[in-house]
Structure 1
């Protein structure tokens, strides 16, 4: 086929999106850093509200009760999420769209 629409090698076949099946060590380090930064923000907001005299904000208290901090999390929960259609019900967090923006700290128990 000639002209403007000649086939290129990526379009001829094979994977178009080459996402490795596991996270690289630098990706894991960045993920841990993101989790730690969120923990720091929660602690800073809690201290600032306590200094002003505001106690018992519902969402902040719920976050501190339910969400584990980065050192408390298992590696399985830091780097993978529950995937209903995956073998073993887990998939790498980097396979989730916008995985750097969404908190994925809690997963169904037992998976």
Structure 2
């Protein structure tokens, strides 16, 4: 068993441990659309139930999946990225944040 700088680890034995493709596959895009549609269904169900909460008003202001351009479905605004856009597959826990709206012009 080696200790120090020459010990074996997953990255040193096999290269990168988590490989990120530079673009999303068709199936990843399909799953993203299904997630967006599922969120839209939940919002419409809560709206139909007659609940009146502040979070519902914020959710109703978001665009629905079929009204969003592909640029907004699959990328998010990022100040540090070239072109100010970053693929959602590179954003950790993307479905937990509300990022359907981006700054104007981006």
TM range (shorter): 0.7 to 0.9
Q: 2:81 — aligned with what?
A: 86
SS at match of 2:57: helix
Q: For CA contacts below 8 A with separation 6 or more, give which structure has more relative contact order.
A: 1
Q: TM-score with structure 1 length normalisation?
A: 0.79
Q: 2:100 — aligned with what?
A: 105
* RMSD, aligned α-carbons: 2.2
Q: 2:55 — aligned with what?
A: 59
Structure 2 gaps, min length 5: none
Structure 1 gaps, min length 5: none
Q: TM-score with structure 2 length normalisation?
A: 0.83
Distance in 2 between residues matched to 1:8 and 1:75, nearest whole Å: 40
Q: How many pairs are equivalent?
A: 103
